[in-house]
Amino acid sequence: MADNARAKRLADLIREVVAQKLQRGIKDPRLGSHVTITDTRVTGDLREATVFYTVYGDEEERKAASAGLESAKGILRSEVGKAAGVKFTPTLTFVMDALPDTARNIEDLLDRARQSDEKVREASAGAAYAGEADPYRKPGEDDTEADETDDTAK
């Protein structure tokens, strides 16, 4: 079993090699320049690597990029093997990264919260306090009311 530091170094190497090869070495038009490798994870035994990627474009371009990556998997694995110099080159699995969709969802939720806050701010613009602005007693204030309640409690 390999240590985590070695698996991390191999994952970083795989991410760099795959990204460089996609940018410069593979001439598949489905991949183009809109595929970005975001993360790579390697199992503890260094046998399998999961490569996360994003595609900037519509659903058609995502499907085409996925098919292009699957067809280039052998070339990419051989390049990783040359660069890594390990006894067994890990098998590559490509997974679409959900990070952009999650970020978009969070931005939508934040926009809704801002709109809700603005509605509350507009509704409370002319409002007044139900009692005093600060209902709490402060040290040094006249405590005549407190003395009167103490006398009636005796």
113 lies in some domain:
no
Chain segment 86-125, per-residue pLDDT in tens: 888 899 999 988 877 788 889 999 999 999 999 988 888 8
**Phi and psi at residue 28, in whole multiples of 5°?**
-70, 120
pTM: 0.66
- 139 occurs within a structural domain: no
Answer yes or no: is 79 within a domain. yes
Give the relative orientation of helices 4-20 and 73-84 as an angle to the nearest 10 degrees. 130
Domain at 84, CATH number: 3.30.300.20
Residue 9 lies in a domain: yes
Nearest of 2, 10, 4, 9 to residue 92 by alpha carbon: 10
List the domain range (segments joined by +) for residue 38.
Answer: 1-97
Residue 117 is assigned to a structural domain of this protein:
no
Domain count for the chain, please give it: 1
Instruction: Kindly state whether residue 142 falls inside one of the protein's structural domains.
Output: no
Establish if 16 belongs to a structural domain.
Answer: yes
Predicted confidence pLDDT, tens digits, the chain (154 residues): 457 888 899 999 999 999 888 888 788 777 777 788 889 999 988 889 999 998 887 888 888 888 888 888 888 888 888 888 888 889 999 998 887 778 888 999 999 999 999 998 888 888 777 777 777 878 877 655 555 555 555 5
Beta bridge partners of 41: 50
